[in-house]
Amino acid sequence: MKVSVIVPNYNHAAFLRQRIESILNQTFQDFELILLDDCSTDNSREVMESYRDNPRVSLEVFNEVNGGSPFKQWDKGIALANGEWIWIAESDDWAEPTFLERMMGEVKRVSDCSLAYAATWWVDEKGNKLWETQNSDKVTVYPGIDFVKQKLAFCNSIANVSECVFRRDRYRPSEGYRYEWMRLCGDWFFYVLLAEQGSVVEVEQPLSYYRQHGSNVSEASEHKGLTFLEGVKVLEYMIDQNGLKATDYAKSWGRMWAKYERQYEFTPEVSAKVHQRMSCHPEIVRWYHLYKIKSWLK
C-alpha cells in the first residue's frame, strides 16, 4: 500500500523543514515524497534542495511562474505520483509520527474506502494549541453519499487536507475544472468528488497539526463572502448529483449566512452578490431571514 506524499509549498520556508522531517520520521515507511514549489520568493528552494539526496524524495519540482492556485498544485502532484494512496501534506502543517501507520491500518479494513481523515490539532504560528480537539479514538465508516449528506451538505467538515489520505484511482483529473479556480472552497469540492467514489473513514484521533498564521487566506476570503459565492457552487453540484433536498441543507446554510454576514460585516457590494446568488435557493433565504430576525432580537 505505497503512499505518495505530496508537499505543495509557497513561501513557507519557515515551516518547511518541520513539515518534511515529520514525514521522513513516519513509523510507516512505504512512501515516496514529492516536493513542489510554486515559485516561492523566500528560501524555500534552498530548504527543499537540502533533501535532494534523501532516498524517500522521488521528485522536486520548482515552478518558474506562480500557478495562482494551490489546487492546481494538488493536481500536478497527483499526476506525478506512483503510490496507491495519496497524502497531500501542506507545507506549513506537520504530523504525528504515527499518522500514516494509523491511517493505512484503518483504510486496509475498508475495501471500498476512497477517502480517510483523522482529527487535527489547530495551532498558532508558533505551534501552540489554540483549543482542545475531540480525541475519542472512535472510527466511523460512512457510505460515500451518506458522508456527503451528513458532513458536506452544509459545510466542509474536514478542516484541512493534511489530515487526509485518499486512493489515487478514485481521484478524477477530468473534474479539476470544478475547483481549481476557487480560493476557499476547492478542498470542499475535492472531498465531495472523492466521497462519490466509495466509503469515507473518519478517525476521531488528532494526528496532525493545522497551523493558523498571517498568510492563511481563509479569513480574508470570508470577508469577501466566498463561503457563499464559491460554496454555493459546491452545494448546487451536490443537489444535482447527489440528490440533496432543501431539508438537508437549507436551515444550516441560512444560519451560516446570517452569522457570517454579521461576523464579517460584509460590504454592500459583497452582500448584494451573496443575495443575488442565493436567490436561486428560496428555502435558504427564508431561514436566513429568520436567523437575522433572531440576531436583531438579542
166-215 pLDDT tens trace: 999 999 999 999 999 998 899 999 999 999 999 999 999 999 999 998 65
- pLDDT score at 298: 52
| Domain region containing 81 | 3-211
What is the chain's Cα-based Rg?
20
Task: Tell whether 279 and 136 lie within a shared domain.
Answer: no
Residue where a domain stops, chosen among 211, 230, 251: 211
Across the chain, mean pLDDT equals: 94
Q: What pLDDT digit, counting tens, does each position of 37-93 carry?
A: 999 999 999 999 999 999 999 999 999 999 989 999 999 999 999 999 999 999 999
Task: Tell whether 276 and 128 lie within a shared domain.
Answer: no
Task: Tell whether 228 and 144 lie within a shared domain.
Answer: no
Task: Tell whether 143 and 286 lie within a shared domain.
Answer: no
Taking the C-alpha atoms of residue 135 and residue 138, their distance in angstroms, rounded to an integer, is 8
pLDDT at residue 297 above 80? no
Task: Tell whether 74 and 138 lie within a shared domain.
Answer: yes
Kindly state the average pLDDT of the residues 105-125: 97
Task: Tell whether 104 and 237 lie within a shared domain.
Answer: no
Contact predicate 165/103, CB 8 Å: yes
65-69-71 Cα angle (round to 5): 125
Task: Tell whether 166 and 284 lie within a shared domain.
Answer: no
Q: What pLDDT digit, counting tens, does each position of 250-271 carry?
A: 999 999 999 998 888 888 999 9
Residue where a domain stops, chosen among 147, 176, 211: 211
Kindly state the average pLDDT of the residues 26-46: 98
Q: Residue 219: pLDDT band by 50, 70, 90 thresholds?
A: low
- pLDDT score at 128: 95
pLDDT at residue 216 above 80? no
The set of residues, in sequence order, having a beta carbon less than 8 Å from that of 216 and lying 6+ positions away, is none
Taking the C-alpha atoms of residue 229 and residue 232, their distance in angstroms, rounded to an integer, is 6
Task: Tell whether 200 and 246 lie within a shared domain.
Answer: no
Taking the C-alpha atoms of residue 86 and residue 6, their distance in angstroms, rounded to an integer, is 7
Residue where a domain stops, chosen among 159, 177, 211: 211
Q: What is the pTM of this model?
A: 0.94
- pLDDT score at 85: 98
Kindly state the average pLDDT of the residues 224-247: 93
Task: Tell whether 72 and 172 lie within a shared domain.
Answer: yes
Task: Tell whether 281 and 197 lie within a shared domain.
Answer: no
Q: What pLDDT digit, counting tens, does each position of 126-176 carry?
A: 999 999 898 999 999 999 999 999 999 999 999 999 999 999 999 999 999
pLDDT at residue 28 above 70? yes
